[in-house]
Amino acid sequence: MIPVVALVGRPNVGKSTLFNRLTRSRQALVDDQPGVTRDRLYGEVWRASQKVLVVDTGGLSDEADELSRAVRQQVDQALEEADAVVFIVDARDGLTHQDIEIGANLRKNDSPIFLAVNKAEGLDSATTGAEYFELALGDPSVISARTGQGVEELLGQVLARFPLSGEDAVDNGRRVAVVGRPNVGKSTLVNALVGEPRLIVADLPGTTRDSIQVPMDRYGQRMVLVDTAGVRRKSRVHETLEKFSVVKTLQALANADAALLVLDARAGLSDQDAAIAGIIVDSGRSIVVAVNKWDGLERRDRNQIRRDLTRRLDFLPEHESLFISALHGSGIGDLIGALQRAQGSALVELGTGALNRALASALEHHSPPMVNNRTVKPKYAHQGGRNPPIVVLHGNLLHKLPASYLRYLGRSLAKTFRLIGTQVRFELRKAGNPYSGRPSHHRRKRQ
């Protein structure tokens, strides 16, 4: 599974700024007022062939009010789930009694602890870090999350504790993450696919609290099914354990070749179902939709579900939707075939010649828009990655291409190569010889 790194510390020491710097995003709200981050925020950090999931937590304080207690519960749960912890202190404040107390608690943790002395821009590193040896957490890394000073060096130390991506993979077949709202029948479906009761099934939502890997060797196929805890709407999440299940779902998706989205036909299609489908698309995983509890449904209800699937999941790539009953086993064999096709699309090899012919056909059928009376036209393409399929486009002014046109290109290529359940992503580069070995400036733009 993808390693989890938790960022902890007092309020306003720069945890969210560091989170944004590491994830190269602006997901975390940053403000000079302490306590802006109250819940956990998580994001993927990619460096070369390694990936970790970073969790931004609320600031730990010694206040006794209800909100502070809730934040501490969230942080405690994050520490339990983390494979490593980055403890952030404020160089401008110096070592405080709260830092000493937090450090003492962290020393009881089994996970490796990395001490980051933040807000050190313009300060002498050796002098600034000296007083923090008192925490007995090893050599402090003196950084500035705002300017980036020392951040990559710190990240390098963290990544060195984990194997390269793929080194810890289970060689039992390709992985499928089984995701959906609570109580839609995910565990029942996994049991039906495997052919034996491997997982606990109950009518109460929230029975599954962790991601559980179940190898399957059936119907002539080998897979690893990862049953995940149900993702609830935030307003309905009360228990800390359930809140952190979202991280487990993201971990499962990050390590999967495809995702099986399970819906409840009797409950109807909800906004939360659409939101989970969006998470799958954002993760780049191929998708198969399984509409469970289809048995015994009235015709008008079945027709309504089909209409809702078309209307509310119209943002999904061309995919397969199957109507099944996990309890009675109907449609299970067809589901295995759909998952196999989705996995194959995620890992497809796109030959350079065929790819450029498909690109030329798409451009001829629908030309790119003009920009300042200049034609923006991709010149050639090659494959840049798999799962999801990444196509590297070379040309001039490609960053001017609107997202709608990239979506058109993605759909056109997917149709040409018969990709199912998979969305093509693009990496845009300035024109030049992609095989010369010379670096070229590029900007990735997701469709």
* Segment 49-73, tens digit of pLDDT: 788 888 887 777 666 566 566 656 7
Average pLDDT taken over every residue of the chain: 81
Q: Are strands 378-385 and 390-395 parallel, antiparallel or unpaired?
A: antiparallel
Tell me if residue 51 falls in helix, strand or coil. Answer: strand
d(CA 105, CA 103): 5
Of 425 and 25, which is predicted with more confidence? Answer: 425
Biggest distance spanned by C-alpha atoms of the chain: 75
Nearest to 120, CA basis, from 11, 14, 7: 14
* Segment 305-329, tens digit of pLDDT: 999 999 999 999 999 999 999 999 8
* Segment 371-399, tens digit of pLDDT: 888 888 889 999 999 989 999 999 888 98
Helix (H) or strand (E) holding 86: strand 84-90
Tell me if residue 53 falls in helix, strand or coil. Answer: strand
* Segment 118-150, tens digit of pLDDT: 999 999 999 999 999 999 999 999 999 999 999
pLDDT above 70 covers a percentage of the chain that reads 77
End-to-end CA distance of the chain: 27
Q: What is the mean pLDDT of residues 430-437?
A: 56
Nearest to 338, CA basis, from 171, 189, 181: 189
Amino acid making up residue 84:
A
pLDDT score of 61:
66
Radius of gyration (C-alpha) of the chain in whole angstroms: 24
* pTM given for the model: 0.62
* Segment 221-262, tens digit of pLDDT: 778 888 876 665 544 444 443 444 566 677 788 878 899 999
pLDDT score of 49:
72
